[in-house]
Chain A
Amino acid sequence: EIVLTQSPGTLSLSPGEGATLSCRASQSVSSSYLAWYQQKPGQAPRLLMYGASSRATGIPDRFSGSGSGTDFTLTISRLEPEDFAVYYCQQYGSSPLTFGGGTKVEIE
């Protein structure tokens, strides 16, 4: 099973600042099958990114993803108030599919 480790656990930032979230895999993620989800309190997760760097439908371009192999990054260029949430990475290249533990982006 591929273990995904996200860091930092919590990111305290102000609106307008940039955010960089990390996801490290215990072994290589095949074909960059790495996704990112956003979850707000009381809501289901929402798909943000797939294939490490492709935005899902309707996701604004302030969100970008990069990486390959075992190291992946989600970048939010300028935080909007609605971006404060928990972010999870997921690998879907091998079974069982696994999620990281999450990074909470909170308002400083």
Chain B
Amino acid sequence: EVQLVQSGAEVKKPGESLRISCKGSGYTFTSYWVGWVRQMPGKGLEWMGIIYPGDSDTRYSPSFQGQVTISADKSIRTAYLQWSSLRASDTAMYYCARSDSGVFSTFDFWGQGTLVTVSS
């Protein structure tokens, strides 16, 4: 069974750093792209970027380029989303999801989401 299990909810202060994780199982982790999607409170879905754990090839949406870093450690089947300096506007639910076939594809399996709250 394909599963993506994300790390737990985080409460941070503005300016702090953060890394959240997404662990894949039930499939060949290095053969599928893993993407990140933001959902701000009460809002829609936003595609942030995507990584190929096999070689760490990464693509970003222009809206998120330079704002976050996506990485992966294939030895532990885990993808990451990190911030160096959080803002209140980063408060959102973040989902990781497996891309069915390549960068230009649908997300067929999703993690349960990680809620990030940034507040002073």
Interface residues of A (CB under 8 A from B): 1, 33, 35, 37, 39, 44-47, 50, 56-57, 88, 90, 92-102
Contacts and interface: CB of A to CB of B under 8 A. Distances in A.
Contacts of A96: 47, 60-63
Contacts of B113: 44
Determine chain A's interface SS by DSSP, over half rule.
Answer: loop
Interface stretch (B7-15, B66-74, B75-83, B104-112): B104-112
Which 9 A-B pairs have CB atoms at the shortest separation, nearest pair first? A96-B61, A44-B110, A99-B45, A97-B47, A35-B106, A50-B106, A102-B44, A101-B44, A92-B104
Interface residues of B, number: 24
Interface of B: 35, 37, 44-47, 59-63, 95, 97, 100, 103-108, 110-113
Contacts of A1: 62
Given A96-B61, A96-B63, A88 B110 contact: no
Contacts of A45: 37, 45, 95, 97, 107, 110
